[in-house]
Structure 1
Amino acid sequence: MPENPNECPKGRCGRPRVRRCIDLNGPSGCYAPVCPHRQETAESVVVFPEEIAVLKLVDLDDLSQEEAAGVLGVSRKTAWRDLHEARRKIADALVNGKTIRVSGCPHDNSCDCTVPDRET
């Protein structure tokens, strides 16, 4: 945080994140490729709970983006942005063999989930 609250690093702080109504029905974990021919890599992607929630609503529960936004209590644009980011991160992990780390993973010691908290 800058010393002067009116000054942002690189001139852009953006708007504060909108609070979402998230219920994932159980804890999420982290996921890594298990192919024995894959080289171990420390690279990973971090997926946040709001991204998982909108991904579940749209891709698994077959809601439209507008309906998912209503469930989450956000605008359709915010839901689209979260959905787009989740899909991009998961595609990156699948294509490049990266670990998918879930922010707030309840198995911190067993899956070595050192995930940074999202800035609010």
Structure 2
Amino acid sequence: MPRPKKCRRVCGLPACREFGPRGMGCAGEPVVMGLDEYEALRLIDLEGLQQEQAAVQMGVARTTVQAIYNTARRKLTDCLVNGRLLRLQGGDVEVCERRAHCPRAGCCLRRSCDKERPED
């Protein structure tokens, strides 16, 4: 029996939840990226954290962050190359209470994943 999925910590929800080609129809079904995948991209590519640091901030193992990051990159590349709509939603995540003051791990307050569910 597989281990239960760990709740992943994210420091805020994205302001925009859908991205796609402008002025033309999108090819195929939308690509759905989980909020944990979005957070991994944000921490590693935008904030410049190492995978180990991102793992601590998200509350998961480094190998988990690596897998999440690789999946997110594949989805993003699919959207860019094939002109598909990218939709950010879902995932087993908890949102940091103090996201404006959360540049590194340690300030996020742990809560049960069931208490806060971002829109699926």
TM-score category of the 2 structures, normalised to the smaller one: 0.5 to 0.7
* Residue matched to 1:44: 30
CA contact (8 A) 2:26 2:84 kept: no
1:39 Cα deviation from its structure 2 partner = 4.6
Structure 1 runs (4+) greater than 4 angstroms displaced: none
Tell whether 2:61 aligns with 1:81: no
Per the alignment, residue 29 of structure 1 pairs with: 17
Determine whether 1:66 maps to 2:52.
Answer: yes
Q: Secondary structure at the match of 2:18?
A: coil
- Which one of 18, 23, 27 corresponds to residue 6 of structure 2? 18
Q: How many angstroms apart in 1 are the aligned matches of 2:32 and 2:51?
A: 22
Which structure 2 segments of 5+ residues have no match? 91-118
* RMSD of equivalent CA atoms: 2.1
State the identity as a percent: 36
Could you list the runs of 5+ residues in structure 1 that have no partner in the other structure? 1-12, 105-115
- The 1:86–1:40 alpha-carbon spacing in structure 2 relative to 1, beyond 3 Å, is closer
| TM-score of the superposed pair, with normalisation by structure 2 | 0.68
TM-score, length of structure 1 as denominator length = 0.68
Tell which has more relative contact order, 1 or 2 (C-alpha 8 A, sep 6+). 2
| Pairs aligned (count) | 92
Q: What amino acid is the match of 1:95?
A: V
Shift, 1:44, TM fit: 1.4
